[in-house]
Structure 1
């Protein structure tokens, strides 16, 4: 089975870097590149695109709210049209940078608070998906399974790739546990290996309450800002491959 391994990348700016993007790009199959609002800048975006192109990694837009101080994790009240324009602005910026390097974007993955706000509002999600479709009908939307994002994308004719988060705890509703809760971010090797192995063998995840829950996903996300993200990504890849899976970019996974 083909599995995509993706990570949010280029989430520094200027001389500041969040993680070892170069090394991480050797491990993942899809890169979600920050587009300049919560993180990133033109030079960083170009560097990520060049790295991905050289390694055969799929390039996707990773738009977020304009909040560098809060790293895009704080919700900022905004109206629907403003949210749509923020998405289009960032998508257009990265698409142009990528085109200048001879690369076509493969997907879009929303960052933190922006994704949460869109996902809570069916009308907003529909508006955003229509806007994305107007730009590029081939873009794949990364989403958690059984969410408004997934439903809105599919109802507007966009392909979706559903995610399993190897480094975040789930609750009984299949939602991510808040980062403010203890043990919501999973960092140790043994736990990550066990989660990926369970996902590959049974298609389930054990929730923070200790209950096994089905997970419908074909892409595994490792957050680059999780401590030890490079090693975590290597662990995920090795577990997928040891279970008989093959790491491949989103376009190839969906065929």
Structure 2
């Protein structure tokens, strides 16, 4: 039986503002990438999401970002590697405090937004992220794009690597994500998203924007929590995967 993890970006509110339907998505996903306060999230939100994740048996991961609350972490920043390392380390530790208070812990790390895309190619920033993760906890898994510098450097540092695919993002022929400022970068046709997820899971491939086939080899699929209709997308994706005989399970335990 094929097994896949279903993850989503959660806790992406701030103060009185709410962006993601955390409670509904935590009923559907197996892993939660929780914002750590740099692109979104605040202490109360972090604690609430960790508590709900723990109650639902959902694995908690730290979604680390550039220090860019105003830009939602989607603006690339030229941060010196030592500073980026410390920013990432700070975020992991902050979320882990709330996770442990909720009876669980941070079980993996995933970059967010512009940082995620930058560490696909940028060796120095990828190295900074890996140094922070390894410095926090040896053996802490890193979730990222297949073939990225991030996963290469994580593997070289002895960290477990988890390749992921995206349910609602368009792919280039090279296997990277189409930038969000380009038309069609985010997919909104639920039927198309669901069909892609089944293909990515059962066949290990996805169709790129030029019609070519890209190998993904994912162990986790991300449904963005801030995409309009995210709860319905996640619900239908989960149902379709289970209907195709796929077992939904976190890639690392929640306990």
Distance 1:213 1:28 in 2: 25
Q: Deviations over 1:153-204 (max 9, x none)?
A: 1110110111010100001100101112221111111111221122233211
Distance 2:68 2:128 in 1: 22
Match of 2:193 in 1: 192
Unaligned runs of 5+ residues in structure 2 are none
Equivalent residues in 2 for 1:1-255 (5 A)? Answer: 1-252=2-253
Distance 1:231 1:137 in 2: 37
User: Which is worse superposed, 192-201 or 202-211?
Assistant: 192-201
Aligned-pair CA distance for 1:116: 2.4
Secondary structure of 2:165's partner?
strand
Distance 1:169 1:124 in 2: 24
Contact 1:126-1:156 within 8 A present in 2 as well: no
CA RMSD of aligned residues (A): 1.4
Q: Deviations over 1:13-32 (max 9, x none)?
A: 11211021100100000000
Contact 2:4-2:201 within 8 A present in 1 as well: no
User: Which is worse superposed, 116-125 or 11-20?
Assistant: 116-125
Aligned-pair CA distance for 1:8: 0.6
Distance 2:114 2:18 in 1: 21
Secondary structure of 1:197's partner?
helix
Query: So what's the TM-score if we normalise by structure 1?
Result: 0.95
Distance 2:74 2:132 in 1: 23
Distance 1:127 1:68 in 2: 20
Secondary structure of 1:125's partner?
helix
Distance 1:19 1:122 in 2: 32
Aligned-pair CA distance for 1:35: 0.3
User: Which is worse superposed, 136-145 or 123-132?
Assistant: 123-132
Contact 1:6-1:219 within 8 A present in 2 as well: yes
- Paired residues in the alignment total 253
Query: So what's the TM-score if we normalise by structure 2?
Result: 0.95
Secondary structure of 2:94's partner?
helix
Extract structure 1 runs of 4+ deviating beyond 4 A: none
